[in-house]
Structure 1
Amino acid sequence: MSSLRNGRTPHAPRAVGLALLLVLGACARGPEGGRQGGPGDGGQGAVAVDVKEARRGQLRAPLTLVGTTQPVEQVAIRARVEGHLERLTVDVGDAVKEGQELGRLSTALLDAEVHQTEAGLAEARSEVASAEAGVAQAKSALEQARLALAQAQVEARRYQRLAQRGIASRQEAEQRATQARTARQAVRAASEQVRTQRSLVTAAKARVRAQSALLAASRERRSFASLRSPVDGRVMERMHSLGDVVLAGNEVLRVGDFSRVEVAVSVSELELSRVKRGQRVSVRLDAFGDTPFSGTVARVSPQADPRSRLVPVEVVLDNPEGRIGGGLLARVRLDNGGQAQLLVLESALRVDQPGTPGGLSGAQGGSGAGTGDGLPEAPPDEGRVFVVTDGTDGGGARVEERRVRLGARADKQVEILSGLREGERVVVRSERPLKPGSEVRPSALSDGPEPEGGGGGGRE
């Protein structure tokens, strides 16, 4: 009686359970009472799958980096000597040539230094001439001493013979011998004098060379008063005016070579693989609207900033007409470098793997021996995908296995180089591992319309 008061019958739970079993049995059977499914389905019905079309594109979106233009080379024209700026022939924006004189400093002090050095050189040369005259005199004295020695030796021998015969006294013979020895000493003294004079000549010539070097240095310093450009370019900045006292080392002008323009940008270490030296890139300058410019990556720094982890990169643009100036905002576009490829999700390579959500634990993406289908393991650059085809004879959609050649991978996508056509529908996720010929039922998340008959009698 209590159960009747509650509005229930004692057999209600049993009746509900029986009705549920009848519904499930009806769903599991086809129109003729058999289980629905295709070859290789194990009698489990159509497999629910996510299907995506193979489309062309690039793995990663283009990356735009912002930088500032500057001349490929800029030099500072500095004063190398102290002086007043007495002449300046150029101003900011003027075009200059290599070696052209741009200005001049006063040279009064430098001229005095040159004159003083010239006087010292003349004095050194006079010393050389005097020393050379002394050498000549010493040689003449030496020759006379040698003649006197020869005469004294002859007299000494003659008197020695006369003394032996008794014609001359022994005292006279000894006097002649003493005179010969004295003449020999005079010859040695004259020879020493010649050597001394020659050393004086050598020293005087060394002083001449030293003074010549000083004179050349003085003249070189005087030439520093002329401010010349070491490159072709344009004057970017002027730091002094006429009459200013310029110290040695002070910058007077700055000249930039604008035949090419450089853009300095910074690339994240995560994007560094997208930049290579010599790579062609597209550059746009806000000053020129939508006009594109072509640049080349000239340098990639081997050292990243330790704080920001950014790597300096320099992009160079040709600028033969000099249209591009310095300090302009530049936007450098980095893409994958090449034309778009056919792309599919990486999970499309993994739908035949049991125990994975449409995913493969291996790194290569090939089906390999782990599928148990007896096929050889795919090479690292190959894989297998399942393409959805419309069923024949009014049947449901089925899958066809394709061998594909793989390219680069990024952002959970992979390039398909061959084995697949654009627009073909590829299974990217399945509720169960697939085999060739499996009947499938595309889900609501799939691309394109659901094939006819694809949802008949299948289970979720």
Structure 2
Amino acid sequence: MRFPLQSHPGILIVGLVITGLLVWGFWPKPVMVETTQVHRAPLTVGIEEDGRTRVIDRYVILAPVNGMTCQMKLHVGDTVTQGENLLGITPLRSQVLDSRSRAQAEAQVSAAKSAVQAAQAQANSAKAAAQLAQEKFQRYQPLLSKGLISQETHDEAKTASLTANANMRSANFAVEVAKYELQAAMTTLQFSAIQPDKQQQERVAVNSPITGKILKVERKCEGPVMTGEALLEVGDPTALEVEVDVLSADAVRIKPGMKVLFDRWGGDHPLEGVVRLIEPVGFTKISALGVEEQRVWVISNFTSPSEEWQRLGDGYRVDAKFVLWHEDDVLQVPSSALFRYQDGWAVFSIEDNVAKRKPVKIGQRNGLSVQILSGLVEGEKLINHPSDAVDDGVKVKQRLTN
């Protein structure tokens, strides 16, 4: 008796081939994965927001009298010195002051003189405070090198010295403003009752209160102006600070004296700064997605040498990163290698091409990297971006990347 397959060996061969293909097709294959390693590197946790520079003390020069201005010959960026005549105003015909109006004008002059004295007293107080803070900081420097004080105490003394110097500079500017206001009050009294035939020949000089540069020109053409109308803005662009609006939830994590890094400002390396003030009042801002957000202004000063950031001007954009935590040697992994497991976190390590689930304890994280406190060792190979196909005990194969 002959078997059909013996008479048709081709059928047998085809059957064996199909069976082999089916076995090969359904045989479990390793899952292709991307890998990463546990490594040590510096880790910084911070808050990043867009900010802009601004002149610390800027002055809006107003018209002291009603009159006609001359054609403005000043331009934005022009350098001016303290007391320099910027423009002149030909006053309009003034009315003769009655007894009551003259008494009020004289009282304003007296008040302006008192304001100058008060501003000078505050400037002297600020100067004394700055000297005391500087001497304290200088005394702390040798103590730090000897290990008698902590780094935090040294940094607090440094921040106090910077803040006191900034307060002294603002107090000195306040004295100049008070003198300028006294001059304006005296000018109002002086030109309030001049003779009509002389009035058309007199011109009220408008002088610069500080040495700096023109930041804004409100009007360039000759024309009438009213008392209090803005004419120019002047300021010292070498004295800059940075204003950054952050979410109110992030503002509570920022403290005065905290380190700030300013990046993407146009230079080759980041600039350093320190937080000076977190404003106590927030405001509402509409985000790009149309969501209402509560924001808070955070003001910071530069601590990098002034030669490094003098190319910046008023209103320049910077990226500010407030450093909440930093260490130079941290065991870490990419955050994409972590996944939730039970009530904690875990990763998949690779041992002999087999995925092994390992629970880990994490610490600080900055969105890209995560600090590993326990569960892993340096150099251990992990699966990055594990998919649903990866599980404990599954064979894996590293995906080749270009």
Category of TM-score, reference length = shorter chain: 0.3 to 0.5
Report which of the two has the higher share of strand: 2
Q: TM-score normalized by structure 1?
A: 0.43
